[in-house]
Every structure is written in C-alpha cells, then in structure tokens.
Amino acid sequence: MTVTFDPTSYKNTTRAQWQDAADAWHAWGPTLEEWLGEATELMLDTAGVGTGSRVLDVAAGAGGQTLAAARRVGPTGEVLATDISPAILRHAAAAAAAEGLTTVRTQELDGERLDVGPAAFDAVISRLGLIYFPDRAGALAGQYRALRPGGRMSAVVYSTPDRNGFFSVPVSIIRRRAQLPSPAPGQPGPFSLGGPGVLEEELRAAGFRDVGSQSVPAPLRLPAAADCVRFERESFGALHQMLGGLTPDARDAAWAEIATELAAFEGAGGFEGPCELVVAWGVK
C-alpha cells in the first residue's frame, strides 16, 4: 500500500496535537531546560544573541529558549516568539510575564509562512522546530528574509536515530505497530535533519553563508525509565500524531512495549536516555 504524504493534513494534525500537549509540555519545563540547556546556549551564542538584539524565535513552543534569549538581550532588545499553536504560546507569554521579561512578544504564526517585516531581526533561532516543517525550504527562506544583512540564524535538531535511543525506540515501536512507512527523504520527522551535513546543505541552499554545525551530547536523565515514558506520553506531540490511527487498547500496548524497551537505559544511577543534538548556524 502506498501512503501519500499530505502536508496540509500533517500540519493541521500537528497544530491540534500541540494544542493538546501544550499544558504538559509546559509542565515538563524544568526537565526540558536541564536536558536542552547546553545546546540552547550554543544556539544563542552562534546566533549572536546579545545585549540589544532583536530575536525571532520560530516554533517557540512553551518558550524556554525564548526566555533565555530575552535574558541576554536585556531591556534594549526584543524577542518575538512564534508558533503554530496559540495554546503553547500562552505558556511562553505567561512565563515571560512572571519573570518580568517585558521585551518578549508572542504571535501565532506558521513557521513556513513568516509574516514579519523584512530585515527586521538580528537573529533567528529555532529549537527542535525545523524537523517538523514539511516545507523547510520555505521556512528557511522566510528566516533569511526576516534577518538584516549580517544577521545570524541558528537551530537545534536531533542527530541520527542510532544516537537518540530515548526517542528512536518509541518511534520505531509505534511505526511498526501502526504500520507506518518510514518518512521519505525531505519529509518531516524527528531525525529528518540529523544526518551529516543535511541541515548545513539546506542552509546554504537558502542563501546562508559561513555555515557551520556542532554536535552536542544531551543525554536525557530522569529518576527512572517510567519517568521518560510519562514525559513522552504526556507531551511529545510527534508520538501522539503517529499513534492517531490506533485504537486506545493498541496505543496502551505500544506504550507498554516502549516502557519495556526504554528500561534498558536504566541503571543504578537512574535513567539515562541516549540523545545527541546538532546545532547548525549561518549568516545572511
């Protein structure tokens, strides 16, 4: 059976899944920042985010990296957090307000159709967002257009499945149980930009120069494998999207198998799920 990828349906489903997962993703915020913190700082460094910077955050989610950028830019800068899900952006706005970061604005925007002023930003950042865009060329073209000459973009993505067992194990189990084909080249997915040079090539194709990348080990550490299962079950929109065609009982069976397999990453010191991130950047 041939399955035709429908980008419009995919994006509609993605938006709905993140609307549903918004509260849980926000609730796991401390775990997210501990896990993604090193890669986030490298992303901000390579995007040149500093005092007074105007920053565009694409697929901002609940805004952990938005707040990190806002702390750097200070009162003379600004950060615009954009996402396809208004529910998750409400968490970003509330977190910024609670911290007194008055330079943060949020706006519901499709990352592939960035309706912002041309050359309006010094930096564009995106943390684990580009991997889920069906039209990455359109997304990167929009980011390039949004930057002033000499402005910088930087993004965080997962590397390859073999280096990301905490996520690739659930993905492979669900794909098998739901009888889903592997994504074709160019289609969105968690590991769609993780191969050597893949994201860098797309940045160059979009017009960016001085392109570079760096791998960042980012093991997901939690007290037990059961905590990883709960984290993913509550808040990973991509997994929920893949499970959508299964019955509730079949979904429960998939999660039970995932729990069994992820237990292999649990030791005397707790759970340590393999994860490697790639930070890639370029200059307009």
Residue 70 parent element (H or E): helix 64-73
CB 220, CB 151: distance < 8 Å: no
The pLDDT value given to residue 184: 84
Mean pLDDT of the chain: 95
Tell me which residue has tokens 């609940």: 62
Q: Which tokens is 200 given?
A: 């860098």
pLDDT at position 3:
56
CA dihedral sign of residues 232, 45, 195, 121: positive
How much is the average pLDDT of 52-59? 98
Average pLDDT of 144-158? 98
Task: Find the mean pLDDT for residues 119-127.
Answer: 98
Q: Tell me which of 27-31, 173-177, 233-237 is least confident.
A: 233-237
What pLDDT, on the 0 to 100 scale, is given for residue 2?
A: 47
CA-based nearest residue to 142, from 178, 102, 113, 177: 113
pLDDT at 178 over 90: yes
Domain boundaries, the chain: 7-160+184-218+278-283
**What number does CATH give the domain 7-160+184-218+278-283?**
3.40.50.150
For 184-227, write each residue's pLDDT tens digit: 888 999 999 999 999 999 999 999 999 999 999 999 999 999 99
pLDDT, mean of residues 45-72: 97
Q: Reply yes or no on whether the pLDDT at 147 is more than 50.
A: yes
CA dihedral 22, 26, 27, 29 (to 10 degrees): 150
